[in-house]
Structure 1
Amino acid sequence: MKKATKVFYITFALVILTVVFGVAAPDIFEEATGNIRSFINTAFGWYYLVIMAVLLILVFVIIVSPYGKIRLGKDRDRPEFSTITWMAMLFSAGMGIGLVFYGASEPLSHFASQPATAEAGTDAAFKEALQRSYYHWGIHVWAMYGIIALSLAFFQFRKGEPALISSTLKPIFGDRMNGPLGTLVDILAVFATVFGVATSLGFGAAQINGGISYLFGVPQTEWMQLVIIGVVTLLFIISAWSGLNKGIKYLSNTNMVLAITLLILVLILGPTILILNMFTETFGGYLQNLISLSTQSAPLNAENRNWLDGWTIFYWAWWISWAPFVSMFIARVSKGRTIREFLIGVVLVPTIFGSFWFAAFGVTAVDIQKKGVDLTALPIDQTLFGMFNEMPMGMLLSILAILLVSTFFITSADSATFVLGMQSTNGSLLPSNQIKILWGVAQSLVAAILLWVGGLAAVQNTIIIAALPFSFVMILMVIALFKALKTELASMKLKK
């Protein structure tokens, strides 16, 4: 196959073996992934908390340091995409489906049954539910994406290295990254990417099915979700074929228009003043409580510990597994920006937008719940549509949401096939359509088998397992980045 490397053949074989195992022995597969997830949660929960907190601190150190003026590219290079398009592309790739899936259901779940510091169902729980939603989707996540993307962009555009995870480790391991050790690193990155994206595709298929089931009575079954995955796979393959400057660019801009439209409608049709007041107070509280939220591990409270495993630890693992894909995609579309501009854009803007999204949808859902409509009785993938059913123009809102999930679905899968193609063709910035299509089919197969063998539980189990090995690679990437930045800054001073 043209330009395909060992990384492609080895990882593709591993993915296919996993799919075959899931089909041949679904019960054993589900039990095995559940046991491994339980072990990781128990032994490494603290580790996920620490690594995310440290990366956040390091990002702010880089922003305020002299490193911030270094350009991602040659000194004469300027951004390839406009700032608006750039924001749309990184945001759509970063967490599109999840915002729609969890926008109403997560704050509502925390409010109704949260075993944290506040009593469930109280005003205090209402505020804490929003703060924890901001925490799970906010500044920690984007700081992690930002620093990993920075490493990739710096070595790719400033130092002329191939667009590979292994290339970023050369300041530590040197030319050994051109051999088996580098291949192993890239295999870990590709494997994590496939399963990380498959998780979102599973959530997307479940929510599309939940929406059309709630609205039109279509059966909510594994078979229907497989059909949805099949249809969307065909659509994103068509988009992937058209390339970065057409398919992904146009889809990303469409996503942002749909997302902003839906957000504005919820703000206007929902409890507007309450949303604005709650956002103002709870976002401020989130920033004030950032340290305590970042380090809470509940070592002496089993109930709180189970809650953290099911929410925070799952999220941190999910985001880490997405890091190779999202960070490489962000790096690919960020050439020409300074490090300071890059990190401020990647970290702050999506954090603020995402937090306001959770405020609008979460406050609306909790307000409806408090008025006597039990949205928690619905399956999690139908919560959003149950909320819309209680609002003016509910059918329009539901159709917009289904359309938005579908376009986010296509964009995420399309972006992932592009990145997987880069990683398995020695960093080619224009991977062949054949390889992109093969990866597109592979990640859809993984999403399908995960839903088939164990539903969303199997999806969550697998994501936590896939994330752990790559987290160690992330640590090495950050060490190598600081080493390279120090050398680069010294070189710039000498040239002056």
Structure 2
Amino acid sequence: MFWPSAAVIAAFVVFAVVGQDRAAETVGEVHTAIVGDLGWYYMALVSLFVIFALWVGIGRYGDIRLGKDGEEAEFGLGSWLAMLFAAGMGIGLVYWGVAEPLNFFSSPRPGVGEGEAERAEFAMVQTFLHWGIHPWAIYVVVGLAVAYAVHRKGRPVSIRWTLEPLLGDRIRGRWGDVIDTVAIVGTVFGVATSLGLGVLQISSGLDYLGWADSPGKAVQVVLIIAITAIATVSVVTGVARGIRWLSNINMVLAAVVALFVLVAGPTLFILSGLVQDVGVYLQDLLRMSFDTGASQGEEGTGWVSGWTVFYWGWWISWAPFVGIFIARISRGRTVREFITGVLLVPTALTFFWFAVFGGSALHGQMFGNDEGLIGEDGAVSTDNALFQLLDTLPGGAFMAGVTILLIVLFFVTSSDSGSYVVAALASGGAPEPPRWTRVFWSASAGLVAIALLLASGSGTASLDTLKTTAIIIALPFSVVMIGMCAATLVQFRRERRAYLEARRLAARERIVEEAVAAMEADLENRALLGPPASPDRT
């Protein structure tokens, strides 16, 4: 899978760089058609993924172990959760923690009331929808299928083997090659896009804080090179060392920044809002999950397509990378432990994060920040929103420096995790891919990001084209995910039947053994007592 994937990536990069306007126009037209015409499909599909994940985790298949019977978990609970959180969406939380609730407060979905309290509640609950159990359910579908195939059935680390129950030996041929190529290309595009757009946020933060005067492309390229270099060292050292250590450091730094904002900000408002918003989220979860905005006409469907459907496509485009990675680190967990850890724990941490940062921003906007975090025209500076919030808090300048370090480390953990997954896929599913392939794919993601950033002029046209392409790739992969759900259920039912049959055989053998033992005991008792006495005839 190495050469086909590398060729496809190189061809697209040339297309996006050389024919920048034409590439953006073509990709944009395809994306508009998908988002505009298939929004209902994405809304229904992702909601069904949530139902699938909850049903499998709660039901009778929860005791199945993702490994050999009796095998212990490979990583401790703390390190496992840290790697889940850092690889899954840690960088997105830092980037959107302040900006997304502010965007929804400023420009809510059509049909939301005009009052500030109503808009603030909508902003937080809608953010919870986009970052809560839905994206993690997408990761569960892929991660569970891969973990079962790899750890239980002994298959290589690859997407194709998850469909073996449906396609049989055909998965070894071109169908499997196409599936793995799509996974590799989508992962590299996603990592490269995150690198490029993330560096723009870091450079914007440096400029806002006065630490660098309008950093240009040269500074951004240096930042990409530095992040890629650290990620390369991490991915070469492997999951058990570099990736795990960096993920643990990330969690500590994230906790420090979040606790600082919680204490220095409007603490009571944050905690009260968290409880209230989680309650509204749980109450309205079913309705929001299937809400396409159709009742508000084209304006409503346009808003849902531009935000919710966009997110669902983005999470699906990341599913091969995140799913394979969480499968790799989940050996020895039961299905119930896997789903609980992947679905519920990161969701709870995500809600807390948005309540702290989004709640602080909304409080400042509603109750006393004279400058405000929303411009007079209603615009929100997405790149600067987090730093604007920190600037309003005592000691915010120092914490802004810690936040920039946190952003860098989150990008490193996303990059090294993605490079590890791509190297495994391109090496035929090797659980420990050769180091040179890890270095190659890590460097490739950085080079793609640099090439597209430099080709974008003063804007981010090529990077946006790449991001949009990654979401387009999500459409065919969503069909693969439907197959994964079906294949997983087939495998689980087979194992369940085999388990019940083994129990019946064991119970039958035990009954026979007990009956034989009872007969032997009876015979022994009769032998000890001797023959029965003759009856007295007198």
Normalising by structure 2, we get a TM-score of: 0.88
Aligned to 1:495: 502
Q: 1:86 is aligned with what amino acid? A: W
With 215-224 and 259-268 compared, the bigger mean Cα shift is at 215-224
Q: Find the aligned partners of 2:464 and 2:371 in 1 and give their Cα distance.
A: 27
Q: 1:376 is aligned with what amino acid? A: I
With 210-219 and 341-350 compared, the bigger mean Cα shift is at 210-219
Q: Find the aligned partners of 1:156 and 1:311 in 2 and give their Cα distance.
A: 35
CA contact (8 A) 2:94 2:407 kept: yes
Q: Find the aligned partners of 2:258 and 2:452 in 1 and give their Cα distance.
A: 31
Aligned to 2:19: 25
Render the CA deviation track for 1:420-456: whole Å, top value 9, x for unaligned: 0111111101111111111112222333344443526
How do 1:239-388 residues align onto structure 2 when only pairs under 5 Å count? 239-299=234-294, 300-370=296-366, 371=368, 372-377=370-375, 379-388=381-390
Matched, 1:435 2:432: no
Instruction: State the shift of 1:106 in Å.
Output: 0.3
Provide closer, same or farther for how the CA distance between residues 220 and 105 of structure 1 changes in structure 2, counting only shifts above 3 A.
Answer: farther
Aligned to 1:3: none
Which structure is larger by alpha-carbon Rg, 1 or 2?
Answer: 2
Instruction: State the shift of 1:459 in Å.
Output: 4.7
Aligned to 2:172: 178
Aligned to 1:446: 448
Render the CA deviation track for 1:133-164: whole Å, top value 9, x for unaligned: 11100001111111210110011111111111
Instruction: State the shift of 1:36 in Å.
Output: 1.4
Render the CA deviation track for 1:3-60: whole Å, top value 9, x for unaligned: xxxx111011100111111221111122222111111111221111111100100111
Q: 2:502 is aligned with what amino acid? A: K
Provide closer, same or farther for how the CA distance between residues 358 and 11 of structure 1 changes in structure 2, counting only shifts above 3 A.
Answer: same
Render the CA deviation track for 1:311-335: whole Å, top value 9, x for unaligned: 1111111110110110100000000
Matched, 1:85 2:87: no
Provide closer, same or farther for how the CA distance between residues 450 and 479 of structure 1 changes in structure 2, counting only shifts above 3 A.
Answer: farther
Instruction: State the shift of 1:209 in Å.
Output: 1.1
Aligned to 2:486: 479
Aligned to 2:476: 469
Normalising by structure 1, we get a TM-score of: 0.96
Instruction: State the shift of 1:391 in Å.
Output: 0.8
CA contact (8 A) 1:114 1:125 kept: yes
Instruction: State the shift of 1:219 in Å.
Output: 1.6
Q: Find the aligned partners of 2:77 and 2:183 in 1 and give their Cα distance.
A: 28
How do 1:112-131 residues align onto structure 2 when only pairs under 5 Å count? 112-119=106-113, 122-131=116-125
Q: Find the aligned partners of 1:283 and 1:223 in 2 and give their Cα distance.
A: 44
Q: 2:21 is aligned with what amino acid? A: D
Q: Find the aligned partners of 2:207 and 2:391 in 1 and give their Cα distance.
A: 13
Q: Find the aligned partners of 1:42 and 1:468 in 2 and give their Cα distance.
A: 13
CA contact (8 A) 1:112 1:120 kept: no
What runs of 5+ residues in structure 1 fail to find an aligned partner?
1-6
Q: Find the aligned partners of 2:173 and 2:79 in 1 and give their Cα distance.
A: 37
Q: Find the aligned partners of 2:291 and 2:38 in 1 and give their Cα distance.
A: 14
Q: 1:87 is aligned with what amino acid? A: L
Instruction: State the shift of 1:271 in Å.
Output: 0.4
Render the CA deviation track for 1:378-409: whole Å, top value 9, x for unaligned: 63111100111111111122111111110000
Instruction: State the shift of 1:200 in Å.
Output: 2.2
Q: Find the aligned partners of 2:141 and 2:31 in 1 and give their Cα distance.
A: 26
3-state DSSP class of the match of 2:39? helix
CA contact (8 A) 2:28 2:465 kept: yes
Q: Find the aligned partners of 1:119 and 1:261 in 2 and give their Cα distance.
A: 36
Q: Find the aligned partners of 1:368 and 1:52 in 2 and give their Cα distance.
A: 34
Instruction: State the shift of 1:224 in Å.
Output: 3.3
Q: Find the aligned partners of 1:150 and 1:17 in 2 and give their Cα distance.
A: 33
Q: Find the aligned partners of 1:405 and 1:461 in 2 and give their Cα distance.
A: 23
Aligned to 1:230: 225
CA contact (8 A) 2:113 2:119 kept: yes
CA contact (8 A) 1:164 1:427 kept: yes
Instruction: State the shift of 1:202 in Å.
Output: 2.7
Aligned to 1:135: 129
Provide closer, same or farther for how the CA distance between residues 447 and 315 of structure 1 changes in structure 2, counting only shifts above 3 A.
Answer: farther
CA contact (8 A) 2:293 2:303 kept: no
Q: Find the aligned partners of 1:9 and 1:27 in 2 and give their Cα distance.
A: 28
CA contact (8 A) 1:101 1:203 kept: no
Q: Find the aligned partners of 1:224 and 1:42 in 2 and give their Cα distance.
A: 38
Task: Say which of 188, 202, 225 aligns to 2:182.
Answer: 188
Q: Find the aligned partners of 1:246 and 1:356 in 2 and give their Cα distance.
A: 28
Instruction: State the shift of 1:120 in Å.
Output: 5.2
With 159-168 and 368-377 compared, the bigger mean Cα shift is at 368-377
With 343-352 and 188-197 compared, the bigger mean Cα shift is at 188-197
Aligned to 2:506: none
Q: 1:183 is aligned with what amino acid? A: D
Q: 1:478 is aligned with what amino acid? A: C
Aligned to 2:208: 214
What runs of 5+ residues in structure 2 fail to find an aligned partner?
504-538
Aligned to 2:533: none
3-state DSSP class of the match of 1:66? coil
Render the CA deviation track for 1:34-89: whole Å, top value 9, x for unaligned: 11111111122111111110010011111121100010011121101000000001
